[in-house]
Amino acid sequence: MSPEKDNVRVVATSAVEMNDTQKLQPLLAEHVVTPKVAWYLRFNRQLVLIGLFLGLMEMCVEDVRKDAFLSLENGRGSTPGPKRRQNSWALLTHDFWGLSWRWRGVVGFFTLLPLVLAIGYKQFLGGNTTRQLSAGEIGASNEYGIDFPRVGTWAPPNDSIYLLLTSFAPFQTASEQGKGRYPTEFPQAYGYNTLLLGNDSAAILDIPSQQYMTKLQDKLGDGDYFEISATVDAYVATWNTSTPSFVANDTLWDQAFEKNIGMGLSRINLYVTGRESLGILPFDDEGTTNPRIFIGFYYDSPWAGISSHTNRSDPEVERFRQRAQLYNLSRQRCQGKWQLNSTSILLLAGDCSSSNSSAELPSPDILEPRILQPFEYDILPPLMHTYEYLVDEVNRIDSPWLRATYSTSVATMYWARGLYMFDRAESLRPARFRYSPTEEAVGWTRPTLRNHPLLYTILVIQPVIVFGTAGVGNYPPFNTTETIQQAFQILEKHNVKNIDTAQLYGNSEKTLGEEKAGSKFTIDTKWASGFNPAFSPTKENIIKSAKESLEKLGVSQVDVFYIHAPDKNVPLEDTLAGVNEVYKSGAFKRFGLSNFAAADVQKAYDIAKANGYVLPTVYQANYNPIARKQETILFPTLRKLGISIYVYSPLAGGFLTKTKEDIDKGAGRFNANVLGGLYHSLYARPTLLAVLPKWAKIAEDAGVSKSELAYRWVAYHSAIKKEDGDAVIVGASSPNQLEQTLTDLEKGPLPESAVKGIQEIWTEIEHESPVDNYHK
């Protein structure tokens, strides 16, 4: 709870009613930093609006402060008369030093508050917010293929040398000429398309087409970027594990020279000591659609530049043969993730190992050897300065980067040659030169304030709180006018505006009507369906009982009218027809469900929509730190249908405030004979009982009570989100407990250690956790 919200509301409700601007300011301030809104506002507009709201807050405080303070001072019966008059006069004349010490503290706090907050929110600069684009926003131009980035209007030279250099350079830079820190985890991404899959394998990924990238870049503002992920094709070079046996395989070497395009062994001197050379021998693999290549550096080579050797018995070929490594080329499906900004594209991560992507793709047209075998004058000069640093002065391998460099350079040289040929002659372009990707996701990120819980605290956030009244009018102490009115005052003090009741709650509706709760609060109630065998939720009974509820409550309309639980004996169509008739009469604003399974929620929604009935927009669910199964079995359906979630039983019916010994003794509602053993069956389970000491220890370490730990977790760390219209329903056994609960909720998020501890408890008990009071 931020200081301005807490104190402004306390002051206003102590003396005067807040005007509309004062009520609206905290709500708007919160929405400015809500991710959905923050993305559209961008960082600059966020700052402008937050400054505006802080200014409005100061105006609100100034507006109510004098009258409120005077009212408070003159209502203090214990203050001596002369002193009271002195304080009142000082408040009227803004005489700070004429105030008592206590009033100086209060006035000083409110004077400094805007300044403190103006400094506080600026601690959250440097954040960003991402929005996922829909398929419609992406459009039909989302082509990928064999391509390279052409930035802006600049047209770089499209030849194999340039292409190889731009793609290979980031990997080369990372290796620091063979002396850099070698990766310990794979895959590793480099540049815009290079993915080192392991020590002996590398991939060159297809990327978004230039047209597609340009379309996306045109949308970007200052500091914006896209994160794009998709399943694409890739050139993959893999070391052949049978390489050692191939050194002596004359048949394979004969094939290599026969299936080469005519250049034979191509080599370039590395000029380290003058006798080292790098050689390549690309060839078509007989019987397959994919090419192979021998590559390696070797020694005792004559001093020369670039040369070719077409005779397999040439001594130079024999020297190369002793150290050559065999690599297979293929096209495979891989996943890639890129970051695209207004000037560049960067490959962030990727993978080629998943079951649906690791199989080779039939790609004879993309790897056709007569056209696409690497050309030595394009390949060897750029690679020369990479490999020369991998050879030390005594002619031995001296870097773990060597095999990785082989893999990466092989994949890159085939990609560069292919792109050069496809780009210059459209007639050569294969079917998969351009294509639409699968599993594409595009996230648009913009700079905003950091979305941190403390920022919400500073900018006035608290969960919507609903006061549950199951005990009002039925049990002490909430069965007397004095106590009930005291509770109302506490609710007003803490700005709680909703009261939840039900036909099933005995005298609750009647008592709330007698106490005129509807004149001060928004009321929600429920039809007694599901739990009360005497109530059959037919269309007639739904209409009749709704009128009775309104008469008892003394109101013409409630906010939410729930079906308390499903009833299998009455067709849902009949029940919903009655609900819609009540809605058309103006008896309620919103229709709610409670204790329905996900499939039944969907069924109710579909029936209502098909018949033009009022749709359910609120759901009341059992939910607490040890009953979270609804997060996976129910909440996704509610979110999909746009239904807000109001949660009851944050304390697990009081279980989280008890000890194992209390439960074993059958304390309170955990007695097997109380309420039909409902709470005993829900929570008195071995695994749940075993974590009660851990729960108490987390609370102790956090310096909070066990009940406060539960309430604050539900309000600030659970799946309940105020921006989705969610709310927390609190109950109390006394006015003091109600005051304490609401005060606890205003303290904001828990320490991270407490949140982590609660998550560990959930992991331990999830398998034995209950669902809710109806499905157990």
Q: Which residue has the tokens 């004077």?
A: 111
- Cβ atoms < 10 Å from Cβ of 27: 12
Active site residue 505: yes
Beta bridge partners of 467: 499, 730
CA distance 187 to 105: 60
Residue 729 main-chain phi, psi, to 5 deg: -100, 120
Among candidate residues 144, 190, 212, 505, the one labeled active-site is 505
The secondary structure of the chain in percent helix, strand, coil, rounded to multiples of 5, reads 45, 20, 35
Output the DSSP codes for 583-613: HHTTSEEEEEEES--HHHHHHHHHHHHHHTP
Task: Tell which residue, 2, 33, 54, has the closest CA to residue 458.
Answer: 2
Output the DSSP codes for 521-552: SEEEEEE-TTT-TT----HHHHHHHHHHHHHH
| CB contact burial 630-643 (16+ within 10 A = b; e otherwise) | beeebbebbeebeb
Phi-psi region of 94 (alpha: psi -120 to 50; beta: other; left: phi over 0): left
How many residues would you count in the chain?
776
CA angle 168, 173, 178 (to 5 degrees): 100
Both structure tokens of 340: 């695209």
CA distance 529 to 516: 26
Task: Tell which residue, 544, 326, 449, 380, has the closest CA to residue 42.
Answer: 449
Start-to-end CA span in the chain (Å): 34
Catalytic machinery residues: 505
